[in-house]
Structure 1
Amino acid sequence: MALKALILDWAGTAVDFGSRAPMGAFVEAFSRVGVTISIDEAREPMGLPKRDHVAALLYTHTIGQRWEAVHGRLPDEADVDRVLAIFEPLNVEVIPRHADLIPGLLDVVAFARAKGMKIGSTTGYTRPIMEKLMPLAAEAGYAPDNVVCAGDLAAGRPSPLMMYRTFADIGVWPPSACVKLDDTEPGIAEGLAAGTWTVGLALSGNAAGLSKAELDSLSPDDRAMVRARANDRLSRAGAHFVIDTVADLLPVLDAIEARLAAGLRP
């Protein structure tokens, strides 16, 4: 069995090295309702649909207590919608500053297309955010065969529904002939739930949380420490393979095809 599709996440996987765009938007959105959160706190639920991400933050014990101290009560679902309504335009606003393609992406996509593979995509971003990002990515040369956004379906990650829509959109099956690339635990869970091979990206996305310039400035020992920590997170999430960035994918595709040829499945 030959591989039929790559299905990629967006921020931290295909664009926006370090998955930086949402972070400032989350911090600012909470600040506007009187609650302080840190970048590290904002990163913790990354990969979830953005409404679920806001809810996960609001309903943590520590952030919930901060909310209660400011507003005199614990947060509820209306508050989730309130923060999301602030967050989304902030995220849209910063997208042009975080739309650069991750190095190596176009070479990998060209290789996959030359093999006859489709290029699918799912994202925790909402449709309005992606309407800003997609044309910028296309101008840079990246236009996958579909885009499924958080909010398009009844459930997003970690459910497999966005993957199922992708299979239908691009006409590929079985799931074992597809490879899901993602930099977050919910994104890996999405691929596993759908029955695909999963590849975690340790250094380009949320697991490391560093821009390319920040990563390049690290000493070899510090870089190795960041890689080890990110590898551990993604491996514990169940990723079949973990690589640094999408640029390192081609040997993994060979390894997966060898497994398929041997009768193995995800």
Structure 2
Amino acid sequence: MLASPIQALVFEYAGTLIESRCTEHPELLPGHQALENCLARRGIPVAVLFDDELPATARLLPETWLCLPALPQRRFPAPDPLLKAATHLAVDQLRRGVLVSGTVAGVQAGLNAGWWTIGTAMSGPLPSVGLNLWRDMEPADQDRVRMQATLGLMNAGAHYVIDTIADLNECLLDIQTRLERNERP
């Protein structure tokens, strides 16, 4: 028996699609265009959660992606923003939803909603440096920062931890396989 596909993919905007520490001139992180093509081919509906109002970079997102303010009465780690997104995306089985977040509170919200969770270690707020400074660090220091960020998200319960969204496709393929085996988050 074939399982239905992933029914929703939700990004926490800051820390996944843009670097969370980037405030002056935020740019979408590398990998978003290839990801857009992959998701469109699979027919996976996408929503992006913003903290407040839509930033200027939101205009760079695909028009088919739903943009939602993450401002229900309760914020992460409460599952409310994800339940709001699930309603807008017409999800009928929460276990078929996937949240991509760079924050511990986001991962906890995904778990609280019964979703699969993917943490983004290098674009989220956990590393003590930005990606530009990280690229200039010695390899041993890069490994230390990456490990610190990865462990923080793993300890929060993330099902997967990747560096950035450039690595997301493999996680989605694995989740699809696990859904086909009727596994739950």
Mark yes or no: TM-score above 0.5. yes
2:8 matched residue in structure 1: 5
Superposition deviation, residue 148 in structure 1: 2.9
User: Residue 205 of structure 1 aligns to a residue in which SS?
Assistant: coil
Q: Does 1:136 align with 2:57?
A: yes
Higher helix share: 1
Unaligned runs of 5+ in 2: none
Q: Does 1:20 align with 2:21?
A: yes
Given the alignment, which residue of 94, 97, 104 partners 2:31?
104
**Is the Cα–Cα contact under 8 Å of residues 78 and 112 in structure 2 kept in the other structure?**
yes
2:173 matched residue in structure 1: 254
Question: Taking every aligned residue pair, what percent have the same amino acid on both sides?
Answer: 29
2:151 matched residue in structure 1: 232
**Structure 1, residues 115-151: CA drift from partner, whole Å, max 9, x if none?**
000111224x22xxx23x0x4321x34452131323x
Q: Which amino acid letter does the alignment assign opposite residue 257 of structure 1?
A: Q
1:50 matched residue in structure 2: none
- When Rg is computed on C-alpha atoms for both structures, the one with the higher figure is 1
| Separation in 2, partners of 1:209, 1:121 | 25
| Separation in 1, partners of 2:61, 2:114 | 29
**Structure 1, residues 209-259: CA drift from partner, whole Å, max 9, x if none?**
432221111121111111111111000101000000011011111111111
- List, as ranges, runs of 4+ consecutive aligned residues in structure 1 with deviation greater than 3 Å: none
User: Residue 226 of structure 1 aligns to a residue in which SS?
Assistant: helix
Q: Which amino acid letter does the alignment assign opposite residue 13 of structure 2?
A: W
Superposition deviation, residue 204 in structure 1: 1.0
Superposition deviation, residue 172 in structure 1: 1.8
TM-score (norm 1): 0.64
Alignment of 1:177-192 (within 5 A): 177-192=96-111
2:132 matched residue in structure 1: 213
Unaligned runs of 5+ in 1: 22-94
**Is the Cα–Cα contact under 8 Å of residues 180 and 199 in structure 1 kept in the other structure?**
yes
Structure 1 residues 148 and 173, CA gap change in structure 2 (3 angstroms): farther
1:113 matched residue in structure 2: 40
Superposition deviation, residue 162 in structure 1: 0.8
| Separation in 1, partners of 2:84, 2:94 | 12
Q: How many residues align?
A: 181
